[in-house]
Amino acid sequence: MSDIIVETRHVSKLYGIRREDAMRMLRKGATKEEVLKETGVTTALYDISLQIPRGKIFVIIGLSGSGKSTMIRCFNRLHRPTSGTILFDGVDLMKLSKQELREFRRRKVAMVFQSFGLMNHRNVLGNVAYGLEVSGMARGEREQRAREAIELVSLKGWEEAMIDSLSGGMRQRVGLARALANDPEVLLMDEPFSALDPLVRKDMQFELLSIQRRLGKTVIFITHDIDEAFRLGDMVAIMRDGRLIQVDTPEGMSTNPANDYVRRFIDSADKSKVLTVRNIMITPVSLIKPDDGIDHALRVMRSNAISSVYVVDNQMKLTGILTLLDAVRAKRDNIELSKIILKDIAKTSIDASVEEIMPLAVESPYPLTVVDEEQRLLGIVTKASVLSSLL
Amino acid sequence: MNVDWLFDFPYRIKLNTDAIDKAVRGFAAAYSAFFDGIKMTLTSFVGAINWVLSHVPWFILVALVFFLGYKGHKKVRSGILYSILLCIIGIFGLWSLMNLTLSIVLAGVIVALLFGLPIGVLLSNSEHANRLIRPLLDMMQTMPVFVYLIPAVIFFGMGSASAVIATVIYAMVPVIRLTSLGIRQVNTEVVEAARSFGSTKLQLLFKVQVPQALPTIMAGVNQTLMMAMSMVVTCSMIGARGLGNEVLIAVNRIEISRGFIAGSAVVILAILLDRLTQGWFSEKKKEGGE
């Protein structure tokens, strides 16, 4: 068994009538735009040669229109390349008969889709068992295997739920379970987490990594997010305008980018420049007013298990912060609440970048407060949220 | 100055319509065995449905309508309303005429679905067939319905068989269109997913495309049913008995009350068929989500 499970040789995919002419132009070095203008042919892929190692996560990254979705659909022949060869364990995919292709899809590859591709007329179990069902497995056995796959993606207990009642993250778990149920050699994942919100996406990335490490499946993963690519990928391939730009490990690519395009792509991975306070701020759990009593303030802190509380007036304008220590002391000495509010606290605006506020957030003993021009409190930024945003 | 030539079309061919008519009649006569076979089959089909309907006790039909109405709309009130409407037809003494009409409509709809559903599936699959058949569908839908009566009579004579044929031609269009549309509208990723797991074409069709398109297909079935109902009176002109015939008689004799009562019965029947089938598939749709 060789270490390379899938290999593509000079794979091209063109859409249009005058494909021969287009191919000739491309060979002479014409760009995608020139070819389109001259021949009316769209170049989805041109001359892609890739080697995908067995048991690894191979990430293909590119912007929309770079051909990455077309590429991944060539691996299970949902798209048929115009020219070139794709070898799967030494078998030429281009030469499979209809029957052989069906068998290949049933046993060797399974795909996970960006918008899930689930059937809402079936419940979770019915969706997960679909691949086994079409391959002719008996009901009892396929449901047994589907249940195992559902457990693998931590959805146990949801077997009978209808798809429409699930959240996005759970739907994609179903999609993943459906692919795993077939026990394929290669998992094809077409931007599987792009439709999910950031927190769920991180969960799912972790889930995928742990499943992959446990089962040792080969994963071909498509994304447009360089962070996702570097976090997941053992190998990363960058595509642009239907061509392959660079294939390397994440480390190799960051230290040795092939050209400016790759470098720019990698730079965008440094999130602190891109993320703003808006993306990471959280809502404070509790607020008090300046004329609330000390007892009320203490109760609020105790019931929320926090050591400080923000003081705002009726217009949500930030007055300051009240710490637990000060409040206890004030209660003992019978001092009014308004006298012990700390007014000199770190503030920031909602559009500040995480990079800018980092020193401030690290120095400040309390979470940073986020205020608008009229000093109204919008949210707070804790040290923890700054740090976790960089992960 | 004579300017007539401006307004008279300068050229016309002399169509020998007689020859065409003769040719069609000759064709009908030559293959009369074939057409008689179809006629026999259809007539006995309508007869069989009518036999069943007329052997269902009235209260069972009323109860059935109540049950379907209640089940489809989840309201006891709808069930009661629909069964009262049905009783009105009986009270006016039109029960057996209603059964006659219903059997022709049902026979027409069943035959229309038998052909319409597969044609719809075919059209959804092939851009080529689609381009070929769409103008034909447009024609079938816009041609004045009376025109269908003539060939129907030539080939199948007067009676319920021609009524069914005319109904089928007229009512088949929506189920074809909406079946094709429904299947085309199935989410591409869902179809890709089914293909990527190695479905055969038939598995793809019956396990994915048809179930996903079901709400749209059922809307087409409902439309077909309604159009079949609207042919009832027209078909009475070629000897279809039933409520339509009653209306026709009333028109000929200018009996306003008789016409009005029979007309109302047609309307009630149409409303019942519409609401009962609509309730059924909108409930299905809710189960399926969206």
Give the model's pLDDT for residue B288.
Answer: 40
Q: Which are the contacts of A119, defined by CB distance < 8 A and separation ≥ 6? A: A126, A127, A130, A163, B190, B194, B208, B211, B212
Query: Which of A120, A176, A190 is the best substitution to test chain B (most B C-beta atoms within 10 A)?
Result: A120
What would the mean pLDDT of B6-13 be, rounded to a whole number?
Answer: 83
- Kindly list the residues from chain B whose CB atom is less than 8 angstroms away from the CB atom of residue A122: 211
Give the integer Cα–Cα distance in Å for B200 and A182: 16
Give the integer Cα–Cα distance in Å for A209 and A232: 7
Radius of gyration of chain B (CA): 23
pLDDT tens readout for residues B240-289: 888 989 999 999 999 999 999 999 999 999 999 998 887 666 544 444 43
| Cβ pair A217, A149 in contact under 8 A | no
What ipTM was reported for this prediction?
0.76
Give the model's pLDDT for residue B266.
Answer: 92
Q: What is the mean pLDDT of chain A?
A: 88
Q: Which of A75, A49, A48, A55 is nearest to A2 (CA)?
A: A55
Q: Which of A71-75, A86-90, A105-109, A335-339 is predicted least confidently?
A: A335-339
DSSP symbol at A123: B
Residue environment code for A11-35, b if the CB has 16+ CB neighbours within 10 A, otherwise e = bbbbeeeebeebbebbeeebebeeb
Give the integer Cα–Cα distance in Å for A366 and A368: 6
Provide the percentage of residues in chain B whose pLDDT is more than 90.
49
Q: Do B212 and A116 touch (CB under 8 A)?
A: no
Give the integer Cα–Cα distance in Å for B53 and B47: 10
Residue A248 confidence (pLDDT) above 80 = yes
Give the model's pLDDT for residue B285.
Answer: 46
pLDDT tens readout for residues B207-233: 999 999 999 999 999 999 999 998 888
Cα separation values, A358 from A270, A348, A386, B134, Å: 14, 11, 7, 65
Specify the amino acid at residue B4: D
What would the mean pLDDT of A213-227 be, rounded to a whole number?
Answer: 92
- Chain B residues interacting with chain A (CB cutoff of 8 angstroms): 187, 189-190, 192-200, 203, 207-208, 211-212, 214, 287-290
Q: Which are the contacts of A358, defined by CB distance < 8 A and separation ≥ 6? A: A272, A386
Phi, psi at residue A119, to the nearest 5°?
-100, 115
Give the model's pLDDT for residue A42.
Answer: 92
Q: Do A164 and B198 touch (CB under 8 A)?
A: no
Give the model's pLDDT for residue B286.
Answer: 45
Give the model's pLDDT for residue A274.
Answer: 58
Q: Which of A205-219, A300-314, B84-98 is predicted least confidently?
A: A300-314
In sequence order, the β-bridge partners of residue B206 are none
Q: Which are the contacts of A361, defined by CB distance < 8 A and separation ≥ 6? A: A346, A368, A381, A382, A383, A386
Q: Do A120 and B289 touch (CB under 8 A)?
A: yes
Q: Do B197 and A118 touch (CB under 8 A)?
A: no
Q: Which of A179, A210, A207, A181 is nearest to A193 (CA)?
A: A207
Local structure of B143: helix, strand or coil: coil
Provide the percentage of residues in chain B whose pLDDT is more than 70.
96
| Cβ pair A346, A330 in contact under 8 A | no
DSSP symbol at A367: P
Residue A32 confidence (pLDDT) above 50 = yes
Give the integer Cα–Cα distance in Å for A95 and A100: 9
Give the model's pLDDT for residue A128.
Answer: 95
Higher-confidence position of A276 and B86: B86
What would the mean pLDDT of B16-35 be, rounded to a whole number?
Answer: 86
* Pick from B193, B287, B289: CB nearest A113: B193
Q: Which are the contacts of A282, defined by CB distance < 8 A and separation ≥ 6? A: A379, A380, A381, A382, A385
Res. A146 pLDDT band, cuts 50 70 90: very high
| Cβ pair B175, B221 in contact under 8 A | yes
* Pick from A102, A115, A122: CB nearest B198: A102
Q: Do B190 and A118 touch (CB under 8 A)?
A: yes
What would the mean pLDDT of A240-267 be, rounded to a whole number?
Answer: 87
- Kindly list the residues from chain A whose CB atom is less than 8 angstroms away from the CB atom of residue B283: none
Give the model's pLDDT for residue A272.
Answer: 57
B32-289: which CATH topology? MetI-like fold (1.10.3720)
* Pick from A106, A120, A121: CB nearest B197: A106
- What does chain B come to in residues? 290
Q: Which are the contacts of B25, defined by CB distance < 8 A and separation ≥ 6? A: B154
Give the model's pLDDT for residue B196.
Answer: 95
Cα separation values, A17 from A25, A36, A42, A192, B128, Å: 14, 11, 10, 32, 17
Q: Which of A161-175, A223-237, B1-15, B159-173 is predicted least confidently?
A: B1-15
Phi, psi at residue B15, to the nearest 5°?
-80, 130
Give the model's pLDDT for residue B281.
Answer: 61
